[in-house]
Amino acid sequence: MWYEKTNKTVYFEETLTLGTVAEYSPIIQLLSNVANNPTNLVNLNLKRLYALNSYGIIMLYKFVIDIL
């Protein structure tokens, strides 16, 4: 996973299968920081994300709900 500042995009690749919701906190922090920019714009590129466990789904779900 990485963030490209020029196009305000967070790229996810391969797998995102951490063991607990707490283990996703650094990712949540990054997404929150990116979303709190002057334009309030963030792109999530999930095209190369091949596996996502239930904790990852919850993390992305909560992020989207929080920024709405």
pLDDT of residue 21: 81
Angle value at C-alpha 10, between 8 and 12, nearest 5 degrees:
160
pLDDT at position 22, please? 87
pLDDT at 38: 79
CA 9 to chain CA centroid, Å, is 10
**pLDDT at residue 50, as a whole number:** 95
User: What is the token pair recorded at 44?
Assistant: 């999530």
- Averaged over successive runs of 10 residues, the pLDDT of the chain (68 residues) comes to 93 93 90 85 94 93 89
Sheet (strand 9-16) strand order:
2-4, 9-16, 43-52
Structure tokens at 43: 């792109």
Check residue 67 and give its pLDDT.
84
pTM (two decimals): 0.85
